Amino acid sequence: MGIDSIHQTAIKAFVFDVFGTVVDWRSGVAREAQPFLQRHAPNLDASDFADAWRREYSPAMEEVRSGRRAYVRLDVLHRENLVKVLARFGIANVPEPEIDELNLAWHRLDPWPDAVDALRRLKARFIIAPLSNGNIRLMVDIAKRAGLPWDAILGAEVVRAYKPSPLVYSETAEILGIAPRELCLVAAHNNDLAAARRVGLRTAFVVRPTEHGPRQTSDLKADEAWDFIVDDLHELATQLGCAR
């Protein structure tokens, strides 16, 4: 997309998927789980454990999205999912404080190498904020640890709905006081971008080919002609004319 086309879009804010797009959840959860597993399941691979925990993510949110369950924040779902995964692996008799502590693994994730500096570049010209299914405290803790320079914390808990529910995207534009076409979602997941586009948001795909580890098979390329398709967030900032 050329600079003239970019100006025509009149984008005023960029919001970001966080898990997988801005931070490396798999490595972080595996790292945080390793000491726990050494105590309780020393033969269990920490990355396999992280993957199993993550597989419960979408089904748990679907209970809320479908209306079968009232909204609860992601920290609650993560802990319930953790208890399920512990049982599945036969890990029993874990003290409740240990489970609570392990659940905080999601609060201590590292950013991808390009994320912090590229976000600072974008922040100089645009409003930037997370648009994550993570709850507010979760997003704050990740941001403070990683140095993510958000202007605001937005996302699921603010609107009390989970992506890809249309309300998450449309209400975020409303909260920012802008039209949907003036808001761009940045994500490494085609389904997230498709949902955002359906309610009028601009879209930016960034490839994260190792989000799910070395054998990742999903989201290795853009499935549609998104407004921006980039290899990392610095490329996005450069296309938008943001200074280094």
Residue 244 belongs to a domain:
no
Percent of the chain with pLDDT over 70: 96
Burial of 167 (0-12, 13-18, 19+ CB in 10 A): middle
* CATH number (domain holding residue 74): 1.10.150.240
Q: What is the pLDDT of residues 149-159, one digit of tens each?
A: 999 999 999 99
**Pair of tokens at residue 188:** 């490494």
100 and 123, same domain (yes or no): no
The pLDDT, as a whole number, for residue 9 is: 58
Q: Which domain holds residue 165?
A: 3-22+112-239
Please, which residues bridge with residue 131 across strands?
Answer: 154
pLDDT above 50 for 8: no
Mean pLDDT to the nearest integer, 200-215? 96
Neighbouring CB atoms inside 10 A of 144's CB total 10
Q: What is the pLDDT of residues 30-41, one digit of tens each?
A: 999 999 999 999
39 and 149, same domain (yes or no): no
Mean pLDDT to the nearest integer, 159-169? 97
**Pair of tokens at residue 9:** 């879009």
pLDDT above 60 for 102: yes
Burial of 232 (0-12, 13-18, 19+ CB in 10 A): middle
- Spatial distance between the Cα atoms of 32 and 52, rounded to a whole number of angstroms: 15
| Helices and strands, number each (H, E), in the chain | 12, 8
Mean pLDDT to the nearest integer, 203-210? 97
